[in-house]
Amino acid sequence: MEGLYAFCVGLLTACGIFLALRGRSFSVVIGLTLLSYAVNLFLFASGRLKLNAAAVLGQSEQYSDPLPQALVLTAIVIGFAMTAFVVILAMRARADLGNDHVDGTLPKLPNDTQQKTGGNQ
Amino acid sequence: MQHLSIFPVLIPLLFGAIMLLPPISRNINYQRVASVIGTLFMLMSTATLLYKVNAEGVQLYALGGWQAPFGIALVADKVSSLMVLLTSFMSFAIMLYAVSGQDKGGAYFHPLFMFQIMGINGAFLTGDIFNLFVFFEVLLIASYALLIHAGGKHKTQATLHYVILNLVGSSLFLFGLGILYGTLGTLNMADMAVKVGQLQGETATLAKTGALLLLVVFGLKAAMLPMHFWLPKTYASASAPVAALFAIMTKVGVYSIFRVYTVIFGEHAGELANIATPWLWPLALLTITIGSIGVFASPGIKTLSANLVIVSSGSLLACAAINSEEATSAALYYMVHSTLASAALFLLADVMSRQRGKAEDRFVRSRPFAQPRLLGFAFAILALALVGMPPLSGFVGKIMILQATQSTTQTMWVWPLILLGSLAALVTFSRAGTTLFWRHSGNATAEAEPAKKLEIAGIALLLLASPLLVLFGGDVSEYTQQAARYLHDIQASAYGLLPGVAQ
């Protein structure tokens, strides 16, 4: 179970970092969202993974650590608010700056002929 | 007054919340009065807190009555109470400046300002590392909205970078916290400091990963190289009161570095003792260097003051790298000085740029100022303070840092860089002053807006701090020495905060 869990967190983190490094604000926002999912799963696992262990004393033989669950809850709320903010900000930047690149200007590619020819739609 | 420690968090929260409700939310004049009263209350309560901490020792406040290490504790010690007093004094002065018209650019300036102060104060006071994360987010989300206050293309672009960077930073913060909680089993900073010495082998390596991830996050906040690229643009494009308030934001990062890497991962951390020092050394020195180059290259006052913030961050990080009582004491003194002086420079830059028409704050020939004497005097005082010339506080602060170096190698690296950084500031300030005040084209026009009385009062209050820090230099440095001794003494800063835990 631990191996699969670790693999999932790792995959989510890798995808998140890759997307966060892209140039367009949309993929960056998706990347940040994936990263926050990975973080939430990771925090949850910091109290160790246990089966059949409720976070309540006296309910089962073993009990799991309740604190990471509280931490995850806080992290989810904060992450959700931040994602909402960054989505609105990205839309505002698209409107203000005229394109959706995070730098506000589209980089010119060396073999970019679109601008001269007007592009073929 | 057992609840005094939480007042610096509660007062801005209450005032911010009240200002969101009608009838205050509809009338900007009510909001202004409420803001000034709120910051004044905060100033009084933090001054009382500092007095009480100085007289009676550390004030430990267990939120909800849950005792540490299980509940969240607020720790008002000499370091944190100095920082909250600095924040309240600065926010009061900035608020005086803002109420005379700078707050009209967009809605909700006053509540957001209050919430940001609440986040800053909370980050200084908290004794729980997850709570530190929460307060970081509070101050960040308020700062995102404040940064874009009054709108404009430049602000949108700078805010987008700032928000994305800080969101990545928050994720890293949580990864670091998860690792530390997984290895140490606690989030209370004092308890972590006690338990970290027992880690061995693989667990210690894992905890080291978490600790260094936190260094990345704090370094991002503190504008440590190579995470400083966001700062000049962000600070230069923010509106004046916001930029001035942001002057303390890098200090929150530096403060967290001091707290985490002196108390938790300090001398007593067993295998993890002083883990940040080898990283902090080169990064701090490079930060000073790149900041000084930035100072030379600045085209306007706002960019100049943003680059000076980077230089001061570098100097403070160098103190953290030296990692001794004297260095921490010097850093605390220098932190108070540089925060107030750079906040004043941001405000002054705004007054100047409003009197220069299209030239704004750039170092180009332009029409003369409407109030040349007043502005020239303020500019000269600030330049002296920020360059570090006697008789103002910058001189004392820099001398304290220079004296704190311990070995010849440290002296060889720190002295030339800090002194060359001062030289860069001196050259740029002279060049800037000459152009701004002596090279004119055309005549002063009637449309130039003279500074209002409250604006002058706000700037004067910040300027006054610099000579006062020198006049009462003995008392202040004695206080910072005691604070530094407390921070380096694990018996006081960790075991003393945990009733029932013996060394």
Give per-residue pLDDT as tens, B341-368.
999 999 999 999 888 878 888 888 888 8
Contact B76, B122 (CB under 8 A): no
For residue A78, give the CATH number of its domain.
1.10.287.3510
Q: Report if residue A112 sits inside a domain.
A: no
CB contact under 8 A, B156 and A92: yes
Predicted confidence (pLDDT) per residue in B151-178, tens digit:
788 889 999 999 999 999 999 999 999 9
pLDDT of residue A113: 56
- pLDDT category at B446 given cuts 50, 70, 90 is low
Question: What's the CA gap between A36 and A29, in Å, rounded?
Answer: 11
**Residue B360 backbone phi and psi in degrees, to 5:** 45, -125
Task: Classify residue B236: in a domain, yes or no.
Answer: yes
Q: Return the pLDDT at B494.
A: 86
Q: What is the pLDDT along chain A (121 residues), one digit of tens a residue?
A: 889 999 999 999 999 999 999 989 999 999 999 999 999 999 999 988 888 888 888 877 888 888 999 999 999 999 999 999 999 999 999 998 888 888 888 888 777 655 544 444 4
For chain B, how many structural domains are there in total? 1
Domain assignment present for A17: yes
What is the predicted ipTM? 0.89
Query: Structural domain of residue A11, as residue ranges?
Result: 2-50+65-104
CB B487 within 8 A of CB B493: yes
Domain presence at residue B502:
no
Burial call B261-272: b when 16+ CB within 10 Å, e when fewer: bbbbbbebbebb
Statement: residue B411 has pLDDT above 60: yes
pLDDT tens for B299-352 read 999 999 999 999 999 999 999 999 899 999 999 999 999 999 999 999 999 999
Distance from CA of B49 to the nearest CA of A (A): 30
Would A100 be classed as within a structural domain? Answer: yes
> What are the tokens at B280?
């902090």
pLDDT in tens, B73-88: 999 999 999 999 999 9
- pLDDT tens-digit series, residues B471-491: 999 999 999 999 999 999 988
Separation between Cα atoms, residue B207 and residue B407, nearest integer Å: 30
User: What share of chain B has pLDDT > 90, as a percent?
Assistant: 72
Average pLDDT, stretch B285-289? 95
Measured from the Cβ of residue B48, the count of other Cβ atoms closer than 10 Å reads 15
Residue A89 lies in a domain: yes
Question: Is there a domain that residue B503 lies in?
Answer: no
In a domain, A110, yes or no: no
For A35, the closest of B159, B171, B178 (CB atoms) is B171
Question: Strand B73-76 and strand B59-62: pairing?
Answer: antiparallel
**In which domain, by residue range, is B285 found?**
4-497
Going by C-alpha positions, the residue among B84, B486, B19 that lies closest to residue B263 is B486
Q: What confidence score (pLDDT) does residue B271 get?
A: 86
Q: What is the domain count for chain A? A: 1
pLDDT of residue A121: 41
Q: Would you call A97 an interface residue with chain B, using a CB distance cutoff of 8 Å?
A: yes
In a domain, A59, yes or no: no
Which residue in the set A32, A46, A90 is minimally distant from B168, CB to CB?
A: A32
User: Any chain A CB within 8 A of the CB of B156?
Assistant: yes
Is B178's CB within 8 Å of A39's CB?
Answer: yes
Distance from CA of A11 to the nearest CA of B (A): 15
- pTM for the model stands at 0.93
Q: What is the pLDDT of residue A112?
A: 60
pLDDT, position A117: 47
Cβ pair A102:B160 closer than 8 A: yes
Within 5-44 of A, beta carbons closer than 8 Å to B belong to 16, 20, 25, 28, 32, 35-36, 38-39, 42-43
